[in-house]
Amino acid sequence: MTDKNLQLATFAGGCFWCMVKPFDEMPGIEKVVSGYTGGDTENPTYQEVVTNTTGHREAVQITFDPEIFPYEKLLTLYWQQIDPTDPGGQFHDRGESYKTAIYYHNEEQKEMAEASKKILEESGRFSKPIVTDILPAKTFYPAESYHQKYYEKNPDHYNRYYKGSGRKGFIEENWVMEKDEKALRQALNDMQYNVTQENGTEPPFQNEFWNNERDGIYVDIVSGEPLFSSKDQYDAGCGWPSFTKPLHSTRIKEKKDLSHYMVRTEVRSKFGDSHLGHVFNDGPGENVLRYCINSAALRFIPKENLEEEGYGEYKQLFD
């Protein structure tokens, strides 16, 4: 590496098309490359790898700054993209080339990967064994150019594949936060509970963040997952906090909402599964969206508190 602060992480998680976007959106990630690793065939092609005879697996290699986005967070994000109990591939894609693996680049990464896997095993989230391999990194061969950043080059096909392969449904079903209703009722006030758990809507102009002008990020009040930045907030005149985009498109999910005799697109947090609000096509500018979000679904973390609250990777947004 030319910069001593940058490190490599390599993960196999099935089809590499689906393993780029979740990491690409994160702060501190310099580059995500799709490719092949784990085997002994030099300079393999895609057609060779998918025959499952080269020993290679589809993988992504991530160049990251550990001071901004540490390896432990990469591991957490990795687990949330895969079915770690599948010994024969991932979702629609079967065979050796689609099996999951964490390829460690040094002993520290190996120890962290093994500890992370053990935590997942002991969590009870899955009833089946965790079978993801933890292996020493080998030569990584970048895939053909048309595979790189496929989600950007072919978004429609990517979205159909992400859903049709079964990955999207598996993640939304198995990586949702387990909730304790009694604990939530104690932790949230009546409005927060009604909005996040019962799809309620708070009054306009009578909520905490509709006219916030401080710098910081907004996280799901239930799960703590980062959702929006004040840098993307604007006054839409509607009386609710409005944003032109989320911090990470992979951290939210959209659902068709037919309630109140209207056709709308509901926005929910991915892992907390909290109702947040709705997204509309009338943002400030051509082809700009308006995410109209309830303050009651959010917790605001000022930029000066990001480090101590565990969101230090987002400080660079406000430098």
Q: Are residues 23 and 133 in the same domain?
A: yes
Residue type, 137: A
Give the residue-averaged pLDDT of 288-301. Answer: 97
| Domain span including residue 31 | 7-174
Distance CA 85, CA 297 (A): 33
pLDDT in tens, 137-176: 999 999 999 999 999 999 999 999 999 999 999 998 999 8
Q: Are residues 170 and 185 in the same domain?
A: no
- Report the CATH number that the domain containing residue 258 is assigned in CATH: 2.170.150.20
Which of these, 168, 173, 295, 273, lies nearest to 223 by C-alpha position? 273
Q: Is the pLDDT of residue 178 over 90?
A: no
- Report the CATH number that the domain containing residue 168 is assigned in CATH: 3.30.1060.10
∠257-261-266 over CA atoms, to 5°?
Answer: 15
Q: Is the pLDDT of residue 2 over 60?
A: no
Six token digits for residue 161: 């594949």
Residue 142 Ramachandran class (φ > 0 left, ψ -120 to 50 alpha, else beta): beta
Q: Is the pLDDT of residue 218 over 60?
A: yes
Is 105 among the domain residues?
A: yes
In the chain, % of residues over pLDDT 70? 99
pLDDT at 4: 58
Q: Is the pLDDT of residue 3 over 90?
A: no
Is 262 among the domain residues?
A: yes
pLDDT at 258: 86
* 121 — pLDDT class (breaks 50, 70, 90): very high
pLDDT at 1: 40
- Mode of pairing for the β-strands spanning 242-243 and 233-234: antiparallel
Which residues form the catalytic set?
Answer: 15, 292
Give the residue-averaged pLDDT of 103-130. Answer: 96
- 79 with 34: CB under 8 angstroms? no
pLDDT in tens, 26-77: 999 999 999 999 999 999 999 999 999 999 999 999 999 999 999 999 999 9
Q: Is the pLDDT of residue 208 over 50?
A: yes
Q: Are residues 28 and 132 in the same domain?
A: yes
Q: Are residues 156 and 192 in the same domain?
A: no
Q: Are residues 145 and 249 in the same domain?
A: no
Distance CA 317, CA 53 (A): 45
Domain count, the chain: 2
Is 1 among the domain residues?
A: no
